[in-house]
Amino acid sequence: MSMPPRSRTGSGPLIAGLIIAAVVVVTIVVLAASGATPAGVWNSFFPMHGTGGVTDRSGSVQNLYDIVFYIAVAIFLLVEGLIVWSVFRYRRKSTDTDLPPQTHGNNLVEVIWTVIPTAIVIFLFALSWQTLNVVDAVTPSQVHVRAVAAQFQWSFEYLDGPGDNANVVFKQVIPGGDAGGLVLPVGEPVHIDLRSPDVIHAFYVPKFLFKKDVVPGRNNNFDFTIEEPGTYHGQCAELCGAGHAAMVFDVHAVSRADYDTWLADSIAKANATPAPAPSGEAAGATVELVAQNIAFNPGALEAPADAPFTIHFKNEDPSVPHDVEIKDAGGAVAFKGDLVTGVAEANYSVPALAAGSYSFICTVHPNMTGTITAK
């Protein structure tokens, strides 16, 4: 069926075209100015910007994502194309005084655009069920870790076996950084049990393409094998209160040998007689510092320059470890205090600091920061 050619009327399409062109040009200029490359932009449409996951299961998630993505893009282009075509092609023009054909519907096309989408979604469902079986598969493993998420602190209990009756051989209380984090062997099935003593949290490591809620009163767990060594950022993904953003942790994936050495060392260190809390006699001036709700109070301290002094440190967060690490302007560590697990207090004997500005952080919670002025 042929339609008479139509002339476009009015300035609408012209203005619309100009606006669209302007937006496209501005977008390209801004993207280019911010250093984006076409490949980078394309990769940003894929999990972890195209770098994918690092576990034995993340590959199948990545594949499923890709399939859903390409189908979604195809449908998007088709339907958006039909909308844009209709908008530009079927504009009313000044000679359109008669009504267009009053089509009320067509049962055949209704059946077609019901059946085809149904087939697509059933296909996607079957595919995702298959992938789910891979992701949720239970693998017998030798490495058992109980990840405990509490407001606002991750800790990791290394167990000597499966189940609730297993003994804790080592408890990692520092959730991140080089000295802490969840250390796991590469190429070895790992079983994680999730526990929460307070509210709901979620164990989320973006590079695993996986998360699972940590629900109080519920024993969630999962299995996986990390395939690439490296350090992977993890974070609580379920709102858990004011310190939600601070609930970060690191996963250190190392070789089996390094893992064994690390675990043996950690157990030995933990079993050694703990050094007495650095209380003792207070040397020099004393400044008060409180850690509460994952924040230092006050955030700015003053101390005498060129003389040792004492920080009287109070940790008011129950069962949360904090410490104080002082760095000079260049980032060199001038002092690092021992961990204090709340509620408790300690006296840190800080060596003499040259006059100037220093920053301090809690190494467990890098978001906890403050400044010391020595003068």
Partner 1 sequence: MATTTLNPAAPAYRSTLYEWLTTTDHKKIGIMYLINSMIFFVAGGLLALVVRIQLVVPKSADVMGGFVTPEFYNQAFTMHASFMLFLFIIPILAGFGNYAVPLQLGAPDMAFPRINALSLWLLPLGGLLMASGFLVSGGSAAAGWTEYPPLSQQLGTGTDLWIMGLVLIGTSSILGAINFLVTIFKMRAPGLTLFRMPVLTWTVLVTSVLVLMATPVLTSALIMLFIDRNYGGHFFDPANGGNAILYQNVFWFYSHPAVYIMVLPAMGIISEVLPVFSRKPLFGYKAFVFATVGIGALGFSVWAHHMFTTGAVFLPFFSLMTFLIAVPTGVKMFNWIATMWRGQLQFSTPLLYAVGFLSMFLIGGLNGAFSAAVPVDFALHDTYWVVAHIHYVLFGGSVFAVFAGIYYWFPKMTGRMLGEGLGKVQFVLMFIGFNLTFFPMHQLGLAGMPRRIADYASAAGWNELNMAATVGGFIIALSVLPFFWNVLVSLRNGKVAGDDPWEANTLEWATSSPPPPYNFDHLPEIRSERPVFDARHGRTAAH
Q: Which stretch binds partner 1 (CB under 8 A): 137-145, 214-222, 253-261, 319-327?
A: 214-222
Interface with partner 1 includes 42 (CB under 8 A)?
A: no
- The bridge status of strand 189-195 relative to strand 153-159 is unpaired
What is the rounded distance in angstroms from the CA atom of residue 18 to the CA atom of residue 247? 47
Nearest-5° Cα angle at 350, 345 to 352 = 160
Interface with partner 1 includes 64 (CB under 8 A)?
A: yes
Q: How many residues bind partner 1 (CB under 8 A)?
A: 92
Nearer to partner 1, 21 or 285 (CB): 21
- Interacting residues with partner 1 between 345 and 374 (CB under 8 A): 366-367, 369
Q: Of 8, 14, 17, 19, which one interacts with partner 1 (CB under 8 A)? A: 19
Quote the tokens at residue 303. 């101390």
As to burial, measured by CB atoms within 10 angstroms (0-12 exposed, 13-18 middle, 19+ buried), residue 54 is buried
Q: Of 178, 198, 228, 288, which one interacts with partner 1 (CB under 8 A)? A: 198
Interface with partner 1 includes 49 (CB under 8 A)?
A: yes
CB 122 within 8 A of CB 170: no
Q: Closest Cα partner for 367 from 289, 287, 288, 293? A: 293
Q: Which stretch binds partner 1 (CB under 8 A): 235-243, 261-269, 283-291, 306-314?
A: 235-243
What is the rounded distance in angstroms from the CA atom of residue 185 to the CA atom of residue 234? 17
Interface with partner 1 includes 14 (CB under 8 A)?
A: no
What residues pair up with 296 in beta bridges, in sequence order?
291
Nearer to partner 1, 105 or 276 (CB): 105
Nearer to partner 1, 77 or 268 (CB): 77
Nearer to partner 1, 64 or 186 (CB): 64
- Interacting residues with partner 1 between 312 and 331 (CB under 8 A): none
CB of 177 to partner 1, least distance (A): 13
CB of 149 to partner 1, least distance (A): 12
Q: Of 101, 274, 276, 331, which one interacts with partner 1 (CB under 8 A)? A: 101
What is the rounded distance in angstroms from the CA atom of residue 64 to the CA atom of residue 351? 57
CB of 105 to partner 1, least distance (A): 4
Nearer to partner 1, 134 or 169 (CB): 134
Q: Which stretch binds partner 1 (CB under 8 A): 129-137, 166-174, 306-314, 326-334?
A: 129-137
Task: Dihedral sign for Cα 75, 78, 82, 85, please.
Answer: positive
CB 163 within 8 A of CB 116: no
CB of 102 to partner 1, least distance (A): 6
Q: Which stretch binds partner 1 (CB under 8 A): 163-171, 230-238, 258-266, 311-319?
A: 230-238
CB 309 within 8 A of CB 350: yes
Interface with partner 1 includes 218 (CB under 8 A)?
A: yes
Quote the tokens at residue 155. 């800790």
What is the rounded distance in angstroms from the CA atom of residue 155 to the CA atom of residue 180? 10
Q: Closest Cα partner for 179 from 229, 279, 249, 246? A: 249
Q: How far is CA 341 from CA 157, 204, 331, 338, 345, in A?
A: 16, 25, 26, 10, 9
Interface with partner 1 includes 65 (CB under 8 A)?
A: yes
CB of 353 to partner 1, least distance (A): 22
Helices marked H in 188-313: 256-271
Interface with partner 1 includes 46 (CB under 8 A)?
A: yes
CB of 299 to partner 1, least distance (A): 10
- Interacting residues with partner 1 between 247 and 306 (CB under 8 A): 248
Residue 76 phi, psi dihedral angles, 5° rounding: -60, -50
- Interacting residues with partner 1 between 236 and 255 (CB under 8 A): 236-246, 248
Interface with partner 1 includes 96 (CB under 8 A)?
A: yes
Quote the tokens at residue 134. 């891979």
Interface with partner 1 includes 60 (CB under 8 A)?
A: yes
